[in-house]
Amino acid sequence: MKVLLATENPGKVTEIRGIFQQKLPQAELLSIADLPQQVREKYDAHETGLTYAENSLIKARALAKLVDGIILSEDSGLEVEALGRAPGIYSARYAPTDKERCEKILHALRDVPAAQRRAQFVACVTLLENGGNPIYFFGRRTGTVATALRGDKGFGYDPIFIPDGETETWGEAPEKSKLLLSHRGIALKLAMDYLIVRLSQKSERAGHSSKVEEKLP
């Protein structure tokens, strides 16, 4: 099974591939970077949606205009309670770089005590097959915002997010320990469970067809 990833974020590509390798290793994943140059140049997804689902679908449909097959897209964000759930869907546009985005949140929370630094990561994964019938899968992970950048693993807001039940930020934690337990990992696991069922159904149909052909005169 070939799955096309509608993202130009190298951090997401690496993480999604790691999750698939653990859960669905037989799938072949291609990102936009793996496509021919003439296709890459035409990919244009403006995230103008007001929800994670809308933005995820925008990215999937933008790629579906250029290629056929199973397309997987994802939109996610960090919601900080003390900031009115910001940055939310604007997480990737909150500041120019990952470090600046983290520092902007830390500065905004500089006087906020630990008990009031609650936050959650939210992810929406969209599966689109041959351009139609989108299916959505959601994942959430709650935690708190650290008081300083900690660790250099992962990407995005990982160095300032401490998931509930842990003492390390995702920037400090071993990568494998995060993959299937993150908001993205939870949503992708649901999507992969669906794909596994689809693979099974296709295999059963193929087996049924071959048996029918054997009975034909």
Catalytic residues: 75
Rounded Cα distance between 204 and 173, Å, is: 41
Helices (H), 132-182: 175-179
Q: Of 98, 75, 106, nearest to 88 (Cα)?
A: 75
Running DSSP on this structure, what letter comes out for residue 170?
T
Tokens of 199: 């693979």
Tokens of 96: 């120019």
Within 13 Å of residue 124, how many CA atoms lie on the same side as its CB?
A: 21
The whole-angstrom distance between residue 61's C-alpha and the CA centroid of its chain comes to: 16
| ∠ Cα 196 184 132 (to 5°) | 55
The whole-angstrom distance between residue 115's C-alpha and the CA centroid of its chain comes to: 28
Residue indicated by tokens 């649901």: 190
